[in-house]
Structure 1
C-alpha cells in the first residue's frame, strides 16, 4: 500500500476538497470505482449502494454541511462523481447490508500519570487500497491530521488535544433508515472536540445507520492532569462509553457495553474475541511501553509476527476472506503526530516508524 502524505493549504471546505482532488485525482477516481466493484463482490446490490449513498449524503449535509461541501470540492477537483464519493464516504453504511460482515482492526491504549498513548492496526482488503492518504488540513483554528482511504475525508487521526482510533462493529439495529456516515462522525470529532465529553456529545448528536467504535485519547490538562481515554461505541440503538481498567483500554470488533452487546452482530468468523483476549494478556507490556515503537511491539507480545493482531490474508478466491494488516498507527494526543508504518506492529522499528505532523 502506497501512503501519500498530503498537506492542504486551502482553508475553505470546497476549496480544500478541490485541492485534495487535484493532488490525487487518479487515485481518488480509481478508489471510488474499486469500492463500487467491492460492494458487489461482498453481496450488496447496486441499487442498495446508490440508495444508501444518497441517504447518507443527505444526512451528512444536514449534520455536517462543511463536510458535504468538501466532498463536492473533492469531486470537482478529481473528476470523480459526487455519487461515487458519497458511496465511498458511506462505505461502512453500505457494508451494513453485506452478508459478509467486516472483521477489521485492533486498538490498545495505555494510561498512566504521563497521559495516554495508543496504537491501532488497520486490517482490510489489500486490493481495495493500493493507495491511501495521510491528510493535514487547517479546519478553523486547528490542524487536523488523519489517515484514510484515498477519496475519504477522515478515519484515524489527531487534532487539538485529542487523538482518535476507529474499529468497525456490527449491531442488529444496523442497516435501518437513514444515517450520518460514521467516518464523518470521526472527522467532526477531530474538527471540534478537545475532551472525551465533547467527543461523546458529537457522537450522540448524529443519527446513525451503522455501528463503529471510536477510541479517543485526551491530552493532559490542568483539569485532567493524567489526561483521559475512552472507547465510544456507536450504533443506531444508542451510544455507550467503555473505560480503561488497570491503565489499559483495548477494543476489537464486538461491543463491550453490556446493553449494546445484547444486540451484537459480529460475524462468527471474526477473531475479535481472540484478539481482545490477546490485547488484555499483553496489557502489562503495553502499559510499560515508553515510546511509539515499544507500544507497537508490546501489542504483539511474545507472539511477535504470529500474534493474532497481525492479520495475514487467507488463501481464498473470495474477497471477503482476504484480510491483512495494512498499516500500524500510534499516537500521543496533543503532539499533532501520527507514527505510522505499513504492515503489522511486529514489523515496526525505530528506524522505519515514520512521523506525520508535529
Structure 2
C-alpha cells in the first residue's frame, strides 16, 4: 500500500482523495453496490437507499460539517454523485445488525507503559475488503496536526493516530436501536482531526450523536481507556492493559447486548486468549511480538469462502508516541508487514 498524502482545507482534502482513488472508488460502487448485494439476502439499489443516505448526510453535516465538506470534495474528485460519496461513509450502518447476522469483528489490545505504548488490533470484516484497504496521510495546515488513517476505499475514517500521540482503535458491539446519526468511523476520524488526548476525545464523543453502537479504545501519551457507546450513553474503563472484542464489558450495558450466541462464544474466546497472550509478553516486547498474538486462532479468524462471513482482513500495531503504524493486509499469518511513519 502506498499512503495517499492529503493536505488543505476539508473540500480540498476530499477532492484530492477522490482524484487519487477515483477509478477504485467507482469500481467499488459498481461492484454490486459496494458489495452490499453480495451480502444482503434481498437486493437493494441506490434509489432504494437514497432517502436514508440523505438523512445520514444531514446528521453528518450537523455534527461534523468539515467532514461533510470533505465528502463533497470526494464526490467532485472521484466524479461520483454526493449520494454515492455518502454511501461509502454509511455502508456499515446501512448493513445494520439485523439484516446481516454478525459472527465476529475485531480483537483489540492496548498496553500503556511509561515510555512506550501500543494499541493494536485485528480488522475482521465481511465483504472481502482486504483488497480495498488503504492508508491516508493527512496534514491539516490550519492546526499543523497530521493524521494517519487506516481505512477502506472511499471511507474517510476507520482507525488511526495523530501527531499529538493519540491513537484510536475500535470494536463492533451490538445493542440498542441503530439510528440516523454520525457513523462511528467518521466520529473516529473527527476525533483524530480535532483532539490531542483521551480527555478531549471523551468530551468530543459526548457532543456527537452516533448512529450505532461501538467500543473505542483510545490511547494518548499519559493514559488509555475503552469507551463503550450505546444509544447516547458512554461507559469508560481505564487501565494499563486493555483488551476488547465484540461483547459489552460494562455490566449495565451487557443487559442490552444483542450479539448472537455463536458470535458471543467467539468473542469470549478471543477476549480470554488475547488477555492470556498479552500477559505472557514482557515489557521489552516488540511490534513483531504483538503481531504474533494475532496470527493464531481463535484471534485470527480464517475465511471459508463465504463473503457474508467475517474474517481477518488486516492487522495493525500502532505506537502513537513514535508515530509508527505496522500493518498486515489480509490474513496476518500469511501477509508481510508494511510500516508507515507519521513523522516522516
Q: What TM-score results when the alignment is normalised by the length of structure 1?
A: 0.86
Q: Does the 8 A contact of 1:118 with 1:295 survive in 2?
A: no
Q: Distance in 1 between matches of 2:223 and 2:290?
A: 18
Change in CA separation of 1:205 and 1:242 when aligned onto 2, cut-off 3 Å: same
Is 1:314 the counterpart of 2:301 in the alignment? Answer: no
After TM superposition, give the deviation of residue 43 of structure 1 in Å. Answer: 4.1
1:166-212 Cα shifts (integer Å, max 9, x gaps): 221110x2324x21111111001101112211111111111122111
How far residue 151 of structure 1 moved from its aligned partner, in angstroms, is 0.2
Equivalent residue number for residue 75 of structure 1? 75
Determine which of 279, 283, 293 is the counterpart of 2:278.
283
For 1:201 and 1:334, the matched residues in 2 are separated by: 22
Displacement of 1:126 after TM fit?
Answer: 5.4
SS at match of 1:288: coil
1:242-269 per-residue CA deviation (whole Å, 9 max, x = no partner) reads 223xx32001111111111210111323
Q: Give the Cα separation in 2 of the matches to 1:258 and 1:330.
A: 29
Counterpart-to-counterpart distance in 1, 2:113 and 2:324: 20
Does structure 2 retain, via aligned residues, the 8 Å contact 1:28–1:78? Answer: yes
Residue pair 1:135, 1:147 contacting (<8 A) in 2 also: yes
- Which residue in the other structure is 1:51 paired with? 51
Q: Which residue in 1 is equivalent to 2:247?
A: 254
Write the distance in 2 (CA, Å) between the matches of 1:51 and 1:334. 43
Deviation of 1:230 after TM superposition, in Å, equals 0.8
- Matched residue SS, 1:312: coil
The equivalent of 1:357 in structure 2 is 342
Which residue pairs with 1:5 in the alignment? 3
- Map of 1:214-293 to 2, 5 A cutoff? 214-219=216-221, 227-244=222-239, 247-270=240-263, 271-286=266-281, 288-293=283-288
User: Which runs of structure 2 are paired with 1:23-102 in the superposition (5 Å)?
Assistant: 23-34=20-31, 36=33, 38-40=35-37, 41-43=39-41, 45-46=44-45, 49-96=49-96, 98-102=98-102
Secondary structure of the corresponding residue to residue 215 of structure 1: strand
Contact residue 105 and residue 122 of structure 1 kept, 8 A: yes
What corresponds to 1:164 in structure 2?
Answer: 168
State the 1:52 CA deviation.
3.2
Partners in 2 of 1:48 and 1:19 — Cα distance?
29
Find the aligned partners of 1:128 and 1:98 in 2 and give their Cα distance: 21
SS at 1:354's partner residue? Answer: strand
Map Cα deviations across residues 282-339 of structure 1 (whole Å, 9 max, x no partner): 1213453532112212x24xxxx442111111244xx322x32121111112322211
**Deviation by residue 1:3-22 (Cα, 9 ceiling, x = unmatched):** 342111x3111111111111
Q: Which 5+ residue runs of structure 2 have no aligned equivalent?
A: none
Root-mean-square deviation (CA), in Å?
A: 2.2
The separation in 2 between residues aligned to 1:146 and 1:91, in whole angstroms, is 18
Shift of 1:83: 0.7
Separation in 2, partners of 1:170, 1:292: 30
Note the 1:121-200 alignment, pairs <5 A.
Answer: 121-125=122-126, 127-139=128-140, 140-159=143-162, 160-171=164-175, 173-176=176-179, 178-200=180-202
**What runs of 5+ residues in structure 1 fail to find an aligned partner?**
220-226
**Matched pairs, number:** 334
Within 1, Cα distance between the matches of 2:128 and 2:116?
37
SS at match of 1:290: coil
1:224 aligns with none
Question: Quick one: distance in 1 between partners of 2:48 and 2:231?
Answer: 19
Q: Could you tell me how far apart the structure 2 residues matched to 1:232 and 1:42 are?
A: 30
Q: CA deviation at 1:357?
A: 2.8
> Closer, same or farther in 2 for the Cα pair 1:353/1:23, shift >3 Å?
closer
